Amino acid sequence: MKKLYIKTYGCQMNVYDSARMADLLAPLGFTPVDDAASADMVILNTCHIREKAAEKVYSELGRLKKLKERRPMLIAVAGCVAQAEGAEMIARQPAVDIVVGPQSYHRLPEMIAQIARGTGHALETDFPARDKFDALPEEAAPQGVIAFLTVQEGCDKFCTFCVVPYTRGAEYSRPVTDIEDEARRLVDSGAREITLLGQNVNAYRGLGPDGKRWSLAQLIRHLARLEDLARLRYTTSHPRDMTNDLIAAHADEPKLMPFLHLPVQSGSNGILAAMNRNHTADEYLHLVERIRAANPDVALSSDFIVGFPGETEADFAATLSLVREVKFSQAFSFKYSPRPGTPAATMKQVPEPVKKERLAILQAVLTEQQRAFNRACEGRMMPVLFESEGRKRGQATGRSPYLQPVHVESASHLIGEISEVRIETVLTNSLRGSLAQSHAARPAQNEARAL
Ligand code: SAH
Ligand code: SF4
Ligand code: F3S
């Protein structure tokens, strides 16, 4: 038995890819372990989205090199840094054996064989997204109660700050039947909730069994028919691709959870244009109105970038005003990080102290909104899907419909079930509650209506 350690950085799509790499290497005798020290092979599945994310990889490689000096170890770098840097990685850190991009990791077995033949380093950074999904094994380790499934990859939008179109390649949507088969396997191995993943998941246009291109809404309604699947989510969406049928699904598909991550990045029209987001602040606000008109219960989340090149005090004030108007249930915010090869990297930069100050101001507002959202949950009954055991004996942790972690005592026997929980204590990032009188799981169909 050989030991495989995979360290994952970045987004959920990397988490999915890491699981698939483990599935791919299982037939070669590799068993996953959770630390590098004893591993025969280490894969760093990397993220290139911000400078810090990429730098972490090189410091981790430095640590691995020391381990490799003591015992034989195969070191592979996968993911978006591998794609962006390619052969540069081996030049900068010769302890690296394999560099493999996010669309070519299905070639890992060949690459390992190549190294074993003593041919030196192995490098694959092609973009055959279709080949990858066709080549990945059907056999997959169970993901548990909450599972992720990549349905769409790549991006054609070219926001001026973003590396994703360069690291993940062009948009590609997997065919409906492949997704359905994978979803069924996940459900058979215990998944009750599936999050459909894509860099632009709502731009999904996969081939349907009828030979036509299906939208994400069609795919969601189709998967919702899987009986034992109780909940569906999707991430990440672009405001431009929030079509009417997807908004309608939030109104009448009970298995689709009332939570939507819809990044806006900025509230200033000038900055949105410079970012190439292709919509205005008002268009975003109008979209939010339409979503809430369809289903007032939908909680919204977003991503923000502060200090994008040229961002003035007035631009930043416009972002704060958009935030105050929407009221997000949670959000992520980042300082703009210039990325090599992207158009914004060569524009006039905002000084670091200004970025830092704006980030602190924005985060204070967003944290307060998250607290307010959570506070409003106090005293409410909510259907919670229990996912794992908590820290204390008998405790279980689950997810609310709005993606909040919920901790409940004496509930560990309910893992995999959805139960009504009364929310009693509210923290910034999680909730605590107790089981309602009836401990029985509710039928999934009634879940959304019970809210
Ligand atoms: N496809 C998604 C975003 C994927 S990247 C979308 O279109 O919204 C995830 C988040 O990282 C982005 O929403 C953005 O807020 C942030 N991000 C991307 N590039 C960045 C950069 N160069 N500097 C800072 N944050 C960045
Ligand atoms: Fe990046 Fe924009 Fe594509 Fe999102 S839509 S992945 S931010 S280029
Ligand atoms: Fe990072 Fe690549 Fe995801 S850059 S955010 S791992 S698509």
Per CATH, the number for 378-450 is 2.40.50.140
Q: What is the pLDDT averaged over residues 404-421?
A: 95
Percent of the chain surpassing pLDDT 90: 88
Inform me whether the pLDDT recorded for 438 exceeds 60: no
Give, for ligand 3, the residue of 21, 103, 164 to mutate: max count of ligand atoms closer than 8 Å to Cβ. Answer: 164
Q: Mean pLDDT in the chain?
A: 94
Provide mean pLDDT across the span 341-352.
97
Q: How far is it, in rounded angstroms, from Cα 411 to Cα 409?
A: 5
Give the residue from 91, 88, 111, 92 showing the smallest Cα distance to 100: 111
pLDDT at 127: 79
pLDDT at 445: 44
Distance 136 CA to ligand 3 centre (A): 20
90/139 Cα distance (integer angstroms): 32
pLDDT at 451 over 60: no
Ligand 3 center to 325 CA (angstroms): 29
CATH number of 2-130: 1.20.1070.10, 3.40.50.12160, 3.40.50.620, 3.40.630.30? Answer: 3.40.50.12160
Between CA 173 and CA 240 the distance in angstroms is: 17
In terms of pLDDT, which residue wins out, 444 or 193?
193
Q: Which amino acid is at 176?
A: V
Substitution candidate for ligand 2 out of 13, 14, 159 with most atoms within 8 A of CB: 159
CA distances (Å), 144 to each of 58, 151, 189, 229, in order? 32, 19, 7, 12
Domain boundaries, the chain: 2-130, 378-450
Q: Distance, CA 440 to ligand 1 centroid (Å)? A: 41
Cα of 49 vs centre of ligand 1, distance in Å, is: 7
Q: According to the model, what pLDDT value does residue 447 have?
A: 45
For residue 310 the two structure tokens come to 């040229």
DSSP 8-class letter at 375: H
Position 19 pLDDT exceeds 60: yes
What pLDDT shows up at residue 290? 98
Centre of ligand 2 from the C-alpha of residue 219, in Å: 22
pLDDT band at 86 (very low <50, low <70, confident <90, very high): very high
Q: Of the ligands numbered here, which is closest to the C-alpha atom of 264?
A: 1
Looking at residue 118, what is its pLDDT?
Answer: 85
Average pLDDT value for residue range 280-299:
98
Q: How does pLDDT run across 241-278, given as a tens digit for each residue?
A: 999 999 999 999 999 999 999 999 999 999 999 999 99
Residues with CB under 6 A from ligand 1: 49-50, 161-162, 164, 199-200, 236, 238, 263, 265, 303, 305, 334, 336-337, 339
> In the predicted model, is pLDDT for residue 158 greater than 90?
yes
